Amino acid sequence: MAQKIRFTKMHGCGNDYIYVNTMGQKVPNPQEAAIRWSDRHKGIGSDGLVLIGKSPVPEADYTMHIYNADGSEAMMCGNASRCIGKYLFERGLTDKTDIRLLTLSGVKTLQLHTINNKVESVTVDMLEPVLENESQYIASRSMGRGTFVSMGNPHYVIFTDDVDQVGETGRMLEKHPAFPQRCNIEFAKIVSGKTADHTTIRTRVWERGSGITQACGTGACATAVAAALTGRAGHKSDIVMDGGTLSIEWRESDNHVYMTGPAEFVFDGEIEI
- The one catalytic residue among 77, 83, 183, 221: 77
Active site residue 221: no
CA dist 17 → 44, 115, 130, 134, 196 (Å): 10, 24, 26, 31, 35
The reported pLDDT for the residue numbered 180 is 87
Asked whether the predicted pLDDT for residue 36 surpasses 90, the reply is yes
Question: How do residues 219-271 score in pLDDT, each as one tens digit?
Answer: 999 999 999 999 999 999 999 999 999 999 999 999 999 999 999 999 999 99
Please tell me if the domain spanning 4-126+261-272 has the same topology as the one spanning 130-255: yes
Burial 91-128 (b: 16+ CB within 10 A, else e): eebeeeeebbbbbebebbbbebeeeeeebebbbbbbbb
User: Which is catalytic among the residues 13, 183, 216, 221?
Assistant: 216
Q: Which CATH number fits domain 130-255: 1.50.10.100, 3.30.70.260, 3.10.310.10, 3.40.50.12660?
A: 3.10.310.10
Convert the pLDDT of each residue in 54-79 to its tens digit.
Answer: 999 999 999 999 999 999 999 999 99
- Is this prediction's pTM over 0.75? yes
Rounded Cα gap, residues 159 and 50, in angstroms: 31
105/257 Cα distance (integer angstroms): 14
Architecture of domain 4-126+261-272: Roll (3.10)
Q: Tens of pLDDT along 95-142?
A: 999 999 999 999 999 999 999 999 999 999 999 999 875 444 454 444
Cα 66 to Cα 4: distance, rounded to the nearest angstrom = 20
216 a catalytic residue:
yes
- Going from N- to C-terminal start, the domains of the chain cover 4-126+261-272, 130-255
